[in-house]
């Protein structure tokens, strides 16, 4: 990775509300044109999970969901709608913790997160929005379209706001990536005094995700696409590289 001494991070203006079936790359290209912005090589286009899920039709009508007995039981512990819990279970490979208001799971994508990332905010009516089926794949597809449409070799990331052990508050976190070395491995590099760094691997994509999240907002800001310029993470990583394998994890 090379980094210049300054970063610019800007939100695309005028991205319309996204509907199922929308061509997200097309909307991004139109917004770029509208605000007179051009993508450059090594730009990272960061997209909120919510609009990817919407475009991919990942909304589920809660009226069509019949909770299983297990979902009903966990819903009682978690004080949640059993239909939402049914969806959480269907999206997860393991339930790690259940407390009033929250179910911490390992999502089928390998992410450890609350309520399987299922979201009812910024969603109309009795609909729950699931994470994209394959966020790394979605990022790759959008990236190819953006490269074709602009000629710039950009990276693409899909991010969500995810809670953490030990610390209050969510932060923007990578759930899909394409064309990005998501991890920086500094092991073996010399420090200022020539001593080799021993254990430093940096979750660089997650640092980009957190930075972009500052401009996305969470509520009615409606700026789901942010461009990060000045960090060159060009490479072949995916969001999966950021997942610590279960057998190496000390905190489950």
CB of 164 to a second copy, least distance (A): 7
How far apart, in Å, are the Cα atoms of 205 and each of 9, 188, 210? Answer: 14, 21, 9
Instruction: Assess 241 for contact with a second copy (CB under 8 A).
Output: yes
Sign of CA dihedral 107, 111, 114, 120: negative
Backbone angles phi, psi at 149, to 5 degrees: -85, -20
- Bridge partners, residue 59, by sequence: 129
Question: What is the distance of C-alpha 83 from the center of its chain?
Answer: 24
Nearer of residues 72 and 197 to a second copy, judged by Cβ: 197
Residue closer to a second copy by CB (options 69, 188) is 188
Q: Which is nearer to a second copy, 76 or 202 (CB)?
A: 202
159: Cα separation from own chain's centroid = 2
Q: Which is nearer to a second copy, 64 or 167 (CB)?
A: 167
Q: Which is nearer to a second copy, 29 or 123 (CB)?
A: 123
Are the CB atoms for 6 and 213 separated by under 8 Å? Answer: no
Name the DSSP class of 219: S
Figure out which of the listed residues 68, 72, 200, 236 binds a second copy, where binding follows CB under 8 A: 200
Binding of a second copy by 8 (CB under 8 A): yes
Residues sharing a CB contact under 8 Å with residue 111, sequence separation 6 or more, in sequence order: 117, 162, 175, 243
Among 21, 36, 167, 247, binds a second copy (CB under 8 A): 167
Give the closest residue to 115 by CA, choosing from 159, 83, 94, 85. 85
Return the range that interacts with a second copy (CB under 8 A); candidates 11-19, 54-62, 65-73, 138-146.
11-19
**13 scored as a contact of a second copy (CB under 8 A):** yes
Minimum gap (Å) between residue 210 Cβ and a second copy: 4
Interatomic CA distance for residues 79 and 76, integer angstroms: 5
CA proximity to 109, closest of 174, 35, 16: 174
Question: 142-161: which residues touch a second copy (CB under 8 A)?
Answer: 161
| Cβ at position 241, least distance to a second copy in Å | 7
The yes or no reply on residue 5 touching a second copy (CB under 8 A) is yes
The answer to whether residue 168 forms part of the interface with a second copy (CB under 8 A) is yes
Q: Does 172 sit near a second copy (CB under 8 A)?
A: yes
For residue 140, the SS3 value is helix
x/- contact string, 121-140, with a second copy (CB under 8 A)? xxxx----------------
Give the x-and-dash track for 71-110 against a second copy (CB under 8 A): --------------------------x-x-xx-x------
**How far is CA 192 from its chain centroid?**
34
């Amino acid at each position: 990775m090379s980094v210049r001494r300054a970063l610019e991070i800007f939100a695309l203006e005028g991205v319309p509300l996204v509907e199922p079936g929308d061509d997200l790359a097309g909307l991004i290209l139109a917004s770029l044109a509208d605000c007179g912005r051009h993508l450059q090589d090594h730009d990272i286009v960061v997209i909120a999970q919510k609009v990817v899920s919407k475009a991919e039709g990942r909304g589920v009508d809660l009226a069509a969901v019949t909770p299983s007995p297990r979902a009903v039981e966990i819903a009682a512990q978690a004080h949640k709608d059993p239909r939402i819990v049914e969806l959480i279970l269907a999206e997860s490979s393991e339930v790690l913790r259940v407390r009033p208001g929250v179910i911490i799971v390992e999502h089928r994508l390998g992410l450890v997160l609350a309520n399987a990332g299922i979201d009812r905010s910024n969603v109309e009516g009795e609909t729950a929005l699931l994470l994209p089926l394959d966020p790394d794949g979605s990022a790759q597809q959008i990236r190819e379209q953006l490269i074709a449409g602009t000629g710039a070799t950009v990276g693409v990331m899909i991010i969500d706001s995810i809670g953490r052990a030990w610390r209050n508050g969510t932060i923007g976190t990578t759930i899909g990536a394409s064309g990005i070395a998501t991890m920086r491995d500094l092991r073996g590099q010399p420090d200022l005094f020539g001593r080799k760094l021993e254990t430093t691997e940096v979750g660089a994509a997650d640092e980009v995700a957190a930075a972009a999240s500052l401009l996305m907002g969470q509520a009615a800001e409606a700026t789901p696409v942010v461009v990060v310029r000045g960090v060159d993470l060009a490479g072949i990583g995916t969001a999966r590289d950021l997942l610590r394998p279960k057998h190496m994890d000390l905190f489950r």
